[in-house]
Structure 1
């Protein structure tokens, strides 16, 4: 599993300062950072500011806005001092990431209003890597970070970007800083933290490619699973997510969500979409629970909440669930979540148009 923690923050900062320190005697204020309207000096100060701000968001458990403070360097601080500030704010941020409990989220606007400790760590690493590149380009000095760091940023923050064998050029392309053969230039971009939705006694936590890859290969994805491991259905759903990611067609908000109990933080199952909505506004949903969590209503709460989230969107008209005829518990979950059994003709059409296998029953919930 490609981890994202304080270790990666420290590694990114160490690479930044090592690359830029040989040029501290240059006038950074007189040179624009490559591709930016800021000077190299302003860009370096921005990196320090972001690292401290991210630490503040996590430490302050900010809910609706940025914590209202910012960093100001002492007058007369030279370039060596700026790098010292980058090192210091990086250390503070790394320590904050390490001491923030799992599941804690704080405000960040892109794209769903919050991020967890891994998301903030990934954003901090991205800021350091990309802006060190910008500064080095402006100064005309070499810089190339660890491919592992670039790959981790992609797997945690860019689930919509097809991974490439060369992660650093891919990250530069994804942020409008470079070209890749066969891909159109990027003129506007945002990274993507995972979507998290409340669902009664559980929280639906969007599973990123970095996590899905570990789960499909037999791991836990860093989650504390009731019973020690996810259900096989969750592994299959994560394999499907990774297939979409590797083909560059993943829409992360229509991916896989872990069901995490709010009272103890343990994962008990998953609910997932089988892809993005089709041209008719139809999207399919599936779900499973570890055996020890069944019969307690968690699946119903999760399916109902995710279905209502989907139906509130302009691009979804119908949520469907195809359930084996002998899987009565799953049919009961669908019914309690507001689904109704499709008519015989609808089931026949679904088999013909959407490849639904014989022996499955179709349940629908419409907007």
Structure 2
């Protein structure tokens, strides 16, 4: 799975500038769609967002950038589009020069994002606000479906997809209706959750990465043995099914285990679904062959368990291990789990808060 972030931002900005360039002679003080802003203020905001994303990513920002931004009062509508094109190019450059594992501050919802997250946010800003401006100016606009799908599978993992990606994105952001779905009045996107461990980072994967893993790709990761273990592909398939059914909760999905020393993925770990009504959640994990015997699974499971059991909605973590899998039994025991049951083929383990 090759990183497409830069190309997607370029495409979104080029599409927006092309359509809005045809109406620069109109009054951009008109209200932009359902927003309280004018069309000119909306264009200014969009360019400012792209600049903030570029600056945050390039500077590895750890807090919100104290950046103010605005067009000169005597600048025309064409200048607003020139500014959008320029700030888009800055974001593209930041995305293309930032390593995959780098993260920078963003508030929603886990206080950081990687380059793909910033790319998806940039694409979303451009698509939605071009829609707002076009609506305010009485102009028809519909972006390429691939751009909408990129945004949805990257930072809207909680939204059940539909065949019409553009209408789904508009609905998910309170700008339209979808048959059979209640109107959206409050929303925000979801960047992936990352959980730190001593030698590893547990990186939550998006539906886009899960789909790529499930169909034989890398998910955008550099794997220690060249590809993930089969269990990772199966878990990714479960995530894709949950996403398509509209029941995926991003923090209860699959995490890829990435070594801090070299950025290589060594395995995966995650949940079979969100906690049930009794606060029970089931975990599973695997490692590529070349990473076994180094304590990575134990380290990752301790961190994942600590994160989960610190939540109010989780009281017990469960796991099932085959009787013949002695190494996995050692991992689960060292991570603080206790054997609580068995059958002819497996042992059942649990760890309580």
Give TM-score scaled by structure 1 length.
0.94
2:125 aligned residue: 127
Matched, 1:362 2:341: no
Describe the shift of the 1:220–1:40 C-alpha distance in structure 2 as closer, same or farther (beyond 3 A).
Answer: same
In the TM superposition, residue 2 of structure 1 has moved relative to its aligned partner by: 8.6
Deviation at 1:74, TM superposition (A): 2.2
Deviation at 1:4, TM superposition (A): 3.8
Runs of 4+ in structure 1 displaced over 3 angstroms? 1-4
Aligned to 2:185: 187
2:228 alignment counterpart: 230
**Deviation digits for residues 234-285 of structure 1 (CA, Å, limit 9, x no counterpart):** 0000000001001000001000000000000000000010000000000000
Matched residue, 2:24? 24
Say if 2:223 and 2:264, in contact at 8 Å, map to a contact too. Answer: yes
- CA distance in 2 between counterparts of 1:171 and 1:177 reads 8
Shift of 1:66: 1.7
> Is 2:46 aligned against 1:60?
no
- C-alpha distance in 1 between matches for 2:274 and 2:197: 21
**1:171 shift after superposition:** 0.4
TM-score (norm 2): 0.98
Pairs within 5 Å for 1:1-367: 4-29=4-29, 31-63=30-62, 65-342=63-340, 344=341, 358-367=344-353
Match of 1:351 in 2: none
The answer to whether the Cα contact below 8 Å between 2:321 and 2:346 also exists between their aligned partners in 1 is yes
Q: 3-state DSSP class of the match of 1:38?
A: coil
Cα displacement string for residues 302-345 of structure 1 (whole angstroms, at most 9, x for unaligned residues): 01100110000010000001111111110100000000111x4x
Distance 1:358 1:111 in 2: 43
Distance of 2:315 and 2:64 partners within structure 1: 35
Separation (CA, whole Å) in 1 of partners of 2:241 and 2:81: 41
* Unpaired stretches in structure 2, ≥5 consecutive residues: none
Preserved CA contact (<8 Å) 1:60 1:67:
no
- Find the aligned partners of 2:143 and 2:331 in 1 and give their Cα distance: 48
Deviation at 1:68, TM superposition (A): 1.9
C-alpha separation between the residues in 1 aligned to 2:83 and 2:273?
Answer: 45
Q: Secondary structure at the match of 1:105?
A: coil
Which structure 1 residue ranges, 5 or more long, are not aligned?
Answer: 348-356
- Give the structure 2 partner of residue 350 of structure 1: none
How far off is 1:75 after superposition? 2.8
Q: CA RMSD in A?
A: 1.1
